[in-house]
Amino acid sequence: MTQNPFDALGGAGGLDLNALLQQAQQMQEQLASAQDRLTEQVVEGTVAGGAVRVRVNGIGELVGVEIRQGEFDGNEADDLEDLGAVIVAAYRDAKAQADALAGQTLGPITGGLGGGTEGAGGTGLPGQLGF
């Protein structure tokens, strides 16, 4: 006598694979929509009293850098090194804001299942952003 392996999951009526697949597809569509919205949103990081401003979108991609005129003299190697460090600091500030925005946007959808921005891929979303 062969037993149905799904009996342990509640019998014939206990597991509806079609409903489960439909829910997964809906979640995937919601994530894609949220990702599109995040791509369109821009946050700004600033350091050195606004001497450097960096803009990133909601998924952490760098979209702009502004350096206030007269703040850095490009004639000295130390000045250029300082400028590089300030740009990195401004990016980190903006990226932290983008991470928080992604967590707020994706958290309700994913219920804590990888909706943050951890990992090398960016937001932890399936598809192009790694997962």
**Which of 56-60, 82-86, 94-98, 103-107 bottoms out in mean pLDDT, i.e. has the lowest?**
103-107
Question: Is position 88 within any domain?
Answer: yes
Question: Is position 13 within any domain?
Answer: no
**How high does pLDDT run on average in the chain?**
78
Question: Is position 95 within any domain?
Answer: yes
Question: Is position 6 within any domain?
Answer: no
What pLDDT, on the 0 to 100 scale, is given for residue 22?
A: 87
**Which of 36-45, 58-67, 78-87, 107-116 bottoms out in mean pLDDT, i.e. has the lowest?**
107-116
63-90: per-residue pLDDT in tens? 999 999 888 877 888 888 889 999 999 9
Order of strands, sheet of 62-67, starting from the edge strand that comes earlier in the sequence: 42-47, 52-57, 62-67
CATH value at residue 52: 3.30.1310.10
Domains: count for the chain: 1
Residue 53, number of CB atoms within 10 A of its CB: 19
**Do the beta carbons of residue 56 and residue 39 sit within 8 Å?**
no
Question: Is position 79 within any domain?
Answer: yes
Question: Is position 16 within any domain?
Answer: no
Q: How far apart are the first and last CA of the chain?
A: 42
**Which of 8-17, 19-28, 117-126 bottoms out in mean pLDDT, i.e. has the lowest?**
117-126
Range of the domain at 116: 42-126
Question: Is position 1 within any domain?
Answer: no
**Which of 49-53, 74-78, 103-107, 110-114 bottoms out in mean pLDDT, i.e. has the lowest?**
110-114
Three-state DSSP string of 68-109: CCCCCCCCCHHHHHHHHHHHHHHHHHHHHHHHHHHHHHHHHH
Closest by CA position to 30, among listed 95, 98, 115, 97: 115
What pLDDT, on the 0 to 100 scale, is given for residue 2?
A: 60
Question: Is position 18 within any domain?
Answer: no
